[in-house]
């Protein structure tokens, strides 16, 4: 166990996809990076750069072909399905581009869902889900189904679902991709607030102005890290130009 402040430590991670025959896609070709607690990181890159693959590995949805992945000091690169599910449940909050809410369940139940799989009692679940919904200013929409909510509201339900287990990281994959720019800004504001409250946020995007909300930017190209450093703030200019 490491006692340092690293939430995520990737060492020389590779991921190959066997496309049948002799062909192999090298989605990641030796990626090493560390992310500290309470960082706000944007992972950027054009499509095909391997950023989705990297996100899936960081999110424990997939395992690397080779390399070592320490999550809170624990080696997850060789874990089985069930252990990965446990990590995803307790340590990772996902926010997706397409919201990925359950259409037949109301907002409250959607937020409750991770707690069901965590084995938390019904009363406690309801209380925490309600609290988290209030946290994202949706306390009054608890019993609305996703199709009765606007895009921004849906994404806030998704953020509440990600937050409700108090995870180590929040992993957002193009969270504004399906929103108009005004609503997108609102969601980014929410992420900033969550970051200020001490959450670790990893943002995967190909939009530069969204990435600018983060404090550190990792650029991927052809399965390798191209640049990794603080975000150059052009934001004020961009907002003025809007």
Binding site for another protein (CB under 8 A): 56, 59, 61-62, 81-82, 85-86, 88-90, 94, 96, 100-102, 104-105, 113-114, 116-122, 161, 165
Name the residue nearer to another protein (CB basis): 60 or 231: 60
Nearer to another protein, 82 or 236 (CB): 82
* Residue nearer to another protein on the CB measure, 86 or 215: 86
Nearer to another protein, 202 or 231 (CB): 202
Within a 10 A sphere around the Cβ of 140, how many other Cβ atoms? 9
Q: Report, in Å, the least distance between residue 28 CB and another protein.
A: 14
CB atoms within 10 A of CB 229: 9
CB of 99 to another protein, least distance (A): 10
CA distance 91 to 87: 5
Residue 44: which H helix or E strand, with range? strand 40-44
Nearest CA among 134, 136, 128, 174 for reference residue 153: 136
Q: How far is the CB of 158 from another protein (least distance, A)?
A: 10
CB 212 to another protein: min, Å: 27
Q: Which two tokens stand for residue 56?
A: 């899936």
| Residue whose CB is less far from another protein, 89 or 205 | 89
**121 in Cβ contact with 176 (< 8 Å):** no
Phi-psi region of 70 (alpha: psi -120 to 50; beta: other; left: phi over 0): beta
Parallel/antiparallel/unpaired status of strands 24-36 and 6-18: antiparallel
Measured in degrees and rounded to the nearest 5, phi and psi for residue 232 equal -80, 120
CA Rg, the chain, in Å? 18
Nearer to another protein, 118 or 239 (CB): 118
Residue 55 Cβ vs another protein, minimum distance, rounded to whole Å: 10
**To the nearest whole angstrom, how small is the minimum distance from the Cβ of residue 82 to another protein?**
5
How far apart (Å, rounded) are the C-alpha atoms in residues 228 and 239? 24
């Amino acid at each position: 166990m490491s006692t340092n402040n690293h939430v995520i430590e990737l060492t020389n991670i590779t991921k190959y996809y066997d496309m049948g025959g002799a062909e192999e896609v090298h989605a990641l070709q030796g990626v090493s990076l560390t992310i500290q607690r309470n960082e706000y990181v944007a992972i950027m890159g054009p499509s095909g750069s391997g950023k989705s693959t990297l996100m899936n590995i960081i999110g424990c949805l997939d395992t690397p072909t080779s390399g070592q992945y320490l999550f809170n000091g624990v080696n997850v690169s060789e874990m089985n399905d069930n252990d990965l599910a446990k990590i995803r449940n307790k340590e990772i909050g996902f926010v997706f581009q397409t919201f990925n809410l359950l259409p037949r369940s109301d907002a409250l139940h959607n937020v409750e869902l991770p707690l069901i799989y965590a084995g938390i009692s019904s009363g406690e679940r309801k209380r925490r889900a309600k609290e988290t919904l209030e946290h994202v200013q949706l306390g009054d929409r608890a019993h609305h189904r996703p199709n009765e909510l606007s895009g921004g509201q849906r994404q806030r339900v998704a953020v509440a679902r990600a937050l409700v287990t108090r995870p180590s990281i929040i992993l957002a994959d193009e969270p504004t991709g399906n929103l108009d720019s005004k609503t997108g800004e609102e969601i980014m504001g929410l992420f900033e607030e969550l970051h200020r409250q001490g959450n670790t946020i990893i943002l995967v995007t190909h939009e530069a102005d969204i990435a600018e909300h983060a404090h550190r930017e990792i650029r991927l190209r052809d399965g390798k890290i191209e640049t990794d450093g603080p975000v150059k703030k052009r934001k004020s200019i961009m907002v003025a130009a809007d």
